[in-house]
Structure 1
């Protein structure tokens, strides 16, 4: 267990940032970790914000009843609680239009049921919290520790398909292909391609191969690969070389997706049982 900080940034005029949603996320928090470049080991000093992801249990009325939370600060509109999301850069002039930068905090806390739905579908972004080293864990209680100890029950071949989809989208975006969206256009102007996007594409390929080979992820990315990823991000690697590495990682991941010993499907029965007993125990404690 890690008895760290549960405090979340205050409510804001965003659909998933109401005060009630914040209280639910804080009170029911079971796991909160750093994610993003900081935990991957691909951050560049002075350039990165801090990304965190958490998981929380919901009050009984939100699971077995029809309770809803306000949509942001608008008490008239109500929606199902699925997450609390807050970016501290919203507090600056410009609000929601601002992009996060060095020193900013982006945090999202998912309801455990939503997180599990995403995780069993193979979403690599949410699976990440299961493999974060202890020094990057902000908070973890018994329910969170049990979840992490059973990371293998969430890992399946479904993740390969999801990772390949993200990888291919990032590969297209790194050269300014159709559908490209990036908030770092200055990188393309300086280096001839979107170096940060390229780094993410290659990271996805490397981590996808590890996940399908070992059934887990090593964080941060191990030394040799980590150093190469940082070099890509700094614009020190020619675009052709990066594309070659991405294509080789993609090809290996495609091959592994049908040959790996990783299970074809996650252990949904265990996930259902964990959700049930964790929520019941939480409700008993908070009555």
Structure 2
């Protein structure tokens, strides 16, 4: 999959969190800019490109900004990666990293991270009713690890305004996953703990995100990738 105007891309997911094991997929996430002239025609360009083998998701700049402004955990991690995990990093990509805190707001971070964690819990409960198999157990453990990670990262972001991608103690997450794989209800106390923690924590984030830096960045992106002569020659 070749997508033009890639501005920022890196390795995300389990590898970035430090939770990958032998055989884990390597997930990549990136932001690209559609050629500006294509945004003015009858047909809008694709806003996302997803491929497997390798696993890669690329979002158009405006879509990524909308996802980040909503508090989307998957989108947000792209701009908080350790430097060594970036594979493409352009000046416009650096600018996006530089305005990452402007996308944050207390209620949206809480809703997004706890919401995703709750979805993971529902998957665990649903899978607990399925026939026991090695594959089912593996998937259950994976969802449990990500439930715990979402809760921890979400509370950190909510409380401090910063996001640490790599977990501090990977084994703790793997042990938790195995416990939940044996009994999905074992995840419920952790989820309830973090719900209470969010309630009792004063957030460092504003009530609403600041959209102005994202708007200004997008206008610079559109100007940079505008090629009127190429549009007129078609």
Specify the TM-score bucket, using the shorter chain as the normaliser: 0.7 to 0.9
TM-score by length of 2: 0.86
**Larger relative contact order, structure 1 or 2 (CA cutoff 8 Å, min sep 6):** 2
Matched, 1:220 2:166: yes
Correspondence for 2:175 among 208, 231, 235: 231
**C-alpha separation between the residues in 1 aligned to 2:229 and 2:24?**
38
RMSD: 2.8
**C-alpha separation between the residues in 2 aligned to 1:213 and 1:166?**
18
Residue 29 (structure 1) shift = 0.4
Q: How does 1:93-104 map to 2 (within 5 A)?
A: none
**C-alpha separation between the residues in 2 aligned to 1:83 and 1:241?**
36
- 1:18 maps to none
For these two proteins, the number of residue pairs brought into alignment is 227
TM-score by length of 1: 0.71
**C-alpha separation between the residues in 1 aligned to 2:180 and 2:126?**
19
Matched, 1:37 2:37: no
Correspondence for 1:150 among 99, 104, 120: 99
Matched, 1:266 2:209: yes
Closer, same or farther in 2 for the Cα pair 1:286/1:211, shift >3 Å? farther
Structure 1: any 5+ residue segments left out of the alignment? 1-8, 10-21, 69-79, 89-104
**C-alpha separation between the residues in 1 aligned to 2:94 and 2:51?**
24
1:183-218 superposed Cα distances (whole Å, 9 cap, x missing partner)? x9635458xx92111111111100111110111211
Matched, 1:168 2:122: no
SS in 1 for 2:225: helix
Matched, 1:114 2:57: no
Structure 2: any 5+ residue segments left out of the alignment? none
- 1:86 maps to 51
**C-alpha separation between the residues in 2 aligned to 1:272 and 1:36?**
28
Closer, same or farther in 2 for the Cα pair 1:194/1:177, shift >3 Å? closer
Identify the structure with the greater helix proportion.
2
